Structures are given as C-alpha cells and as structure tokens.
A = this chain, B = another copy of it.
Amino acid sequence: MCSLPLPQEPLRRVAVIGGTHGNEMSGVYLARHWLQAPGELRRPSFSATPVLANPAAAAACRRYVDCDLNRSFTGTFLTARPHPDDPYEVKRARELNQLLGPKASSQAFDFVLDLHNTTANMGTCLILEAAHNVFAMHLCRHLQLQNPELPCQVFLYKLPGEESCSLNSVAKNGMGLELGPQPQGVLRADLFTRMRALVSSVLDFIQLFNQGTAFPAFEMEVYRAVSSVHFPRTEAGDLAGIVHPQLQDRDFEPLRPGAPIFQMFSGEDKLYEGESTVYPVFINEAAYYEKGIAFFQTEKLMVSVPALPALAPAPAPTP
C-alpha cells in the first residue's frame, strides 16, 4: 500500500463543511448554526472553520443550482479563465479553492470534513478516497471505538485512475460523513444529533493527534467501490423497474449471485447476474436517479493500517 505522507505538524487549519449539496439538511443546518455559534468547533490546539459550501442551493433547498459542486473541483474548472456564464457551482468551487486551498498547494487547509446525507439506509458511513490515507483511517478507527453502539462503515469511493474532484480534494486531507436515511429537504433530530456528536469526535481526534498522541496499527473492514448498477430501462429510455423490496434498505449487506435486484413494472424480478458476492451501497439514493444509478457495488476488504506515530515535540525555543 502506497501511503499518503503523514502530517508532520499539528493540524491547525481545519474546516467543517455543510451544504455541499443544498438539500442534505443535517449539514446545512449545522453549518448555519456554527456560523452563528462557532464555539462548539474550538479545541485547545485549533478552531475549526464552519463553511456553508453551496449557499444558493441551500436557499433553494436543491442539490445544486447548475451542476454538482462536489464534482466541480477538477483541475480544468479551477484553472480555467473565469467567465461570467460559468455555472454557479464552478464559480463557487473557485471561491472555495481560494478559501480552503489552493488545491495541491502548501497553503491548503490541513483537513476538511464534509457533511452529507443520503436517502439510502447507510446508517453512519465514513467516506474516504482510498485506504492509503493513514491519518484518515485512524480517524475512522477512532470514531468506531468512540461509538461502539453505532455501526460506522468505511466506504472507499475512488475508482482507479479517476481524478479527485470532490470538495475534500482542495485540502491536504479530508473525509466525508454520510448519514442516512433522511429524505432530501427534511431535518431529522436523530441524525442531526448524531452528526453533531460525530463532528465533535472528529475534532477530538485531531486534538489528540495535535497534542502528541500516538495511535497503534490495526486491521479494519472496509467497503471499496467496484462499479455502479443502472436501473432497467424501456426501449424508449423510461424506467422499466424499481429496486427490489428484498434489496431496498440492505446497504452493506451481502448480495449473492441469483438474488433479486429489480422488480419490473411488468411484474417479474430481475436477478443479480454477477459471479461473486458484492455489498451494495447508496441503494435507491434520490440524487442518483438523474444519472440512472440504482446502487453501487462494493467489495468488502480487510486492510492493515500502520501505526500513526506521535508528532515530534516542537523544538524548544532557542534561548
């Protein structure tokens, strides 16, 4: 495993981001609340910056205004010469790149935590690009240990060769927090409280690291994205079926060859024809209908994560 370089200094510049998608309400309302009352985001060694990433989409209670902000942090968009007709989210990506980046520069924020909701039954899901991010893997482990009553699944979303174009990619490091199920445009108290507590645990972990705590190596179960599965269509391109009731709400559970995945409007079942067991996630997520995606297939892996050594003590000031 080719690891990302470990932080050599305390993480001082940390952001907590809500409303990257404007109708995912837990993060929208937490960000709005913290912008008024940022004290909750303070720790002895740093203060996290609250950010409402897509204020226009949040005001309209839509995922986005012109295009998906969380796919807009590409090198092409960030470096192109700005034009007044650029999509709103491309303009906003450039602003956020100025605030939190610039992407891939030494001035970029040390860590950003991006808050999301899904309509899928994902429970508490921690989203990383890949397992080689040792710091973030230790953070995931910390959240699991702090919340033994709460299944916290780790989802590695990046397919090989894919460009990083998420909001997190502008910072040196980052993680997504994905809580569900929650309908778009609805704020549920249970998820709001859970997200608030998880953000607090994330900040506590960074504080522990900053103050010189070492974390031992461990092994961890993760779910790694393999491919997307599309809804069945009629010849005219309309939806011809629906996620099967035996698959609905079964995120992270094994899907075995021959199990039903779609119930066709005509009545018959469509079966999973793969050769090996997979673990579906984002099953029947509202936001993916426009892409025709019914769910993602993942594989379940056990990964070994090396120790996270304590930061070297700051050099004593010269007398």
Q: List the number of copies, as a whole number.
A: 2
Is there a chain B Cβ closer than 8 Å to A263's Cβ? yes
| Stretch from A75-83, A168-176, A236-244, A310-318 that touches the partner | A236-244
Is there a chain B Cβ closer than 8 Å to A220's Cβ? no
Q: How far is the CB of A105 from chain B (nearest CB, A)?
A: 35
| Stretch from A65-73, A151-159, A187-195, A208-216 that touches the partner | A187-195
A184 to B289, CA, bound (A): 11
Looking at A32, A61, A245, A286, the one whose CB has the most chain B CB atoms below 10 A away is A286
Judging by beta carbons under 8 Å apart, are B33 and A265 in contact? yes
Which residues of B sit under 8 angstroms from A188, Cβ to Cβ?
Answer: 242-243, 248, 284
Is there a chain B Cβ closer than 8 Å to A181's Cβ? yes
Q: Which of B29, B184, B243 contacts A189 (CB 8 A)?
A: B243
Judging by beta carbons under 8 Å apart, are B189 and A244 in contact? yes
Is there a chain B Cβ closer than 8 Å to A85's Cβ? no
Which residues of B sit under 8 angstroms from A61, Cβ to Cβ?
Answer: 289-290
Is there a chain B Cβ closer than 8 Å to A185's Cβ? yes
Judging by beta carbons under 8 Å apart, are B185 and A184 in contact? yes
A265 to B192, CA, bound (A): 10
CB 8 Å contact bits of A281-295 with B (1 = contact, 0 = none):
000111101100000
A284 to B191, CA, bound (A): 14
Q: Which of B32, B183, B193, B238 contacts A181 (CB 8 A)?
A: B183
Which residues of B sit under 8 angstroms from A181, Cβ to Cβ?
Answer: 183
Is there a chain B Cβ closer than 8 Å to A47's Cβ? no
Knowing A33-B265, A286-B184, A290-B61 are in contact, say whether A189-B119 is a contact too (CB < 8 A). no
Judging by beta carbons under 8 Å apart, are B289 and A185 in contact? yes
Q: How far is the CB of A4 from chain B (nearest CB, A)?
A: 35
A239 to B187, CA, bound (A): 11
What is the size, in residues, of chain A's interface with B at 8 Å between Cβ atoms? 32
Judging by beta carbons under 8 Å apart, are A242 and B187 in contact? yes
A286 to B188, CA, bound (A): 11
A61 to B186, CA, bound (A): 16
Q: How far is the CB of A115 from chain B (nearest CB, A)?
A: 15
Which residues of B sit under 8 angstroms from A185, Cβ to Cβ?
Answer: 119, 184, 286-287, 289
A187 to B284, CA, bound (A): 8
Judging by beta carbons under 8 Å apart, are B239 and A284 in contact? no
Which residues of B sit under 8 angstroms from A245, Cβ to Cβ?
Answer: 189-190, 193
CB 8 Å contact bits of A236-269 with B (1 = contact, 0 = none):
0011001111001000000000000001010000
Please, which residue of chain B has its CB at the minimum distance from the CB of A231?
B187
Please, which residue of chain B has its CB at the minimum distance from the CB of A284?
B186
Judging by beta carbons under 8 Å apart, are B119 and A192 in contact? no
- The 18 listed contacts between A and B (C-beta, < 8 Å) are A32-B238, A33-B265, A119-B185, A119-B186, A182-B183, A183-B286, A184-B286, A185-B286, A186-B285, A186-B289, A187-B239, A187-B242, A187-B243, A188-B284, A189-B243, A189-B244, A190-B245, A193-B245
